[in-house]
Amino acid sequence: MQAPTGRGKCRRQAPSPTEEDNESSGPEPASTASDVQNKRKRGQRGRNQYPEGQFTVNVISAAGEPIEPPQIVAKFRNAIGAIIRTKMVLDPTIPSWPLVPEGRKEAMWQLLSRTFILPRGTREQVRHYALKMLGETFRWWKSELNTLYVQKGRTPFADYGDITPAQWKSLFSRRPQKKL
């Protein structure tokens, strides 16, 4: 018997009799209108949802990011996105993160610290990381508002119900419209 050289074609095993029966056993189920309606287009992202309950963080990275257990990373980032976009919708007329009032930043941190139980002695390190991520997310959110709504001449009231028409008009008047 020769040793395999790795140059030959891979051979597919013949399906067992039960697999053949399953492949040809009946018509494909038809997709319903609700299946098509709920399916997102490629590249679209879903809205962040604030995680329910409390989560214990076991390990913090050197930068202050919660990294263990592994599920915590996604929950922490989703919580930050949800705070910016839904929980505490910031006034979109605030031009940048440094101009967000300190009281609002502290309220966001308090919400995060109630949800995530941190290891002792890491509170300030995680707070610094969280505020940094909140700032980046705020900047991305402002960019999203500009790209998806201002430049296209649309309004975000259906997606962001907490934005008032007065706030939107103020933001809209400061930014130049892209001419189509």
The pLDDT tens digits for 37-65 are 666 566 555 566 677 888 888 888 888 88
Q: Note whether residue 164 is domain-resident.
A: yes
DSSP 13-61: PPPPHHHHHHHTSSPPPPPPHHHHHHPPPTT--PPP-PPPS-EE--EE-
Residue 38: inside a domain = no
Within-domain flag for 42: no
Percent of the chain's residues with pLDDT above 90: 9
What total number of domains does the chain contain?
Answer: 1
Query: What pLDDT sits at residue 134?
Result: 92
What's the pLDDT score for residue 56?
87
In whole angstroms, give the CA distance from residue 160 to residue 14.
Answer: 55
Assigned domain for 74 exists? yes
Average pLDDT, integer, range 73-98: 80
- For residue range 109-156, list pLDDT tens digits in order: 998 888 898 888 888 999 999 999 999 988 888 888 888 888 888 888
- Domain range for 162 is 48-174
In a domain, 9, yes or no: no
| 9 has pLDDT over 80 | no
pTM: 0.66
Asked, for residue 6, whether it belongs to a domain, the answer is: no
Tell me whether strands 55-56 and 116-117 are parallel, antiparallel or unpaired: parallel
Q: What percent of the chain has pLDDT over 70?
A: 65
Task: Look over the chain and give the mean of its residue pLDDT values, rounded to a whole number.
Answer: 75
Asked if residue 128 is part of any domain, the answer here is: yes
Written as one string, the DSSP assignment of the chain is -PPP-S-SPPPPPPPPHHHHHHHTSSPPPPPPHHHHHHPPPTT--PPP-PPPS-EE--EE-TTS-EEESTHHHHHHHHHHHHIIIIITPPPTT--SGGGS-HHHHHHHHHHHHHHEEPPTT-HHHHHHHHHHHHHHHHHHHHHHHIIIIITTT---TTT-TTS-HHHHHHHHHHSPPPP-
pLDDT at residue 68 tops 70: yes
Measured between alpha carbons, how far apart are the two ends of the chain, in Å?
71
Q: Which residue has the higher pLDDT, 95 or 116?
A: 116
Q: Which of the two residues, 40 and 66, has the higher pLDDT score?
A: 66
- pLDDT beyond 70 at 13: no
Confidence of residue 180 (pLDDT cuts 50, 70, 90): very low
